[in-house]
Amino acid sequence: MRTILISGANSGIGLKIANKLLSEGNKVSLGVRNIEALKGTIIDPEFWPKNQILVNYYDAFDDNSPQDWIANTINQFGGFDTLINCAGIFSRVPFLYNKKEKDEIYKTMKVNFLSVWELCRLSWENLCLSNNGRIITLVSMSGKRSKGDLPAYSSSKFALMSLCQTMRNKGWDKNLRVTAICPSWVNTKMASKVESISKDEMTQPEDIAELCSTILKLPKQSVPFELSINCNLEI
């Protein structure tokens, strides 16, 4: 069993991953912006043993929150060996943006890239100490190719993909393995306005949770670096 930090577990993919890994007996430390919003959900701490789940406040724009989260996790569980990065936002800011949209570009880079880098940096020592560490990051197919006029979002995801490659190389000799999961449309709130494909035809959050579970069971010599997941054909 593993001890796992999961960001962005309030909803969507992160919530389903947390539920899956808890159900398998892992210890899970959740980093969420809205702790109260977990009440009544499938990962409500009231439904799980107290020695298995820890809920922490985490916000990409609060520079103290990742340090506090990590410290609380170490205090509760003695350490951790896995970090799963699920927090992220979508942006429709176009290439020819106006002045009012400029702040959204910085916000997108902060949440999707810089905050992930910071959380991984702060977690690095503990992940390496385990000698069997794992980092799984939800990137996107937008981190592999750019479609449409969404440069803020795709740029943040290209940067995130580069970060994953750097961490893979840096952690290799410490037996730390990194996986970048790159789905296209997933049936979450982020894709609620998509009309080109039905919700049933999209990848489901439970599918991503199943993949994460499998990755964490694999030996270090078999952990994939990149998983590209298409729910529709791209040529």
d(CA 159, CA 162): 5
Residue 140, C-beta contacts closer than 8 angstroms, at least 6 positions apart: 88, 157, 182, 183, 184
Q: Phi and psi (nearest 5°) for 5? A: -95, 135
3-state secondary structure of 115: helix
- Of 57, 58, 97, 153, which residue is the catalytic one? 153
Neighbours of 230 (CB within 10 A): 12
Distance CA 220, CA 178 (A): 10
Q: Enumerate residues 6+ apart whose C-beta is below 8 A from 63.
A: 118
Can 153 be counted among the known catalytic residues? yes
DSSP code at position 112:
I
> How many Å apart are CA 208 and CA 188, to the nearest integer?
12
The DSSP code for 202 is S
Give the containing element (helix H, strand E) for 135.
strand 134-138
Query: How far is CA 178 from its chain centroid?
Result: 12
Matching residue, tokens 């398998």: 24
Write out the catalytic residue numbers: 153
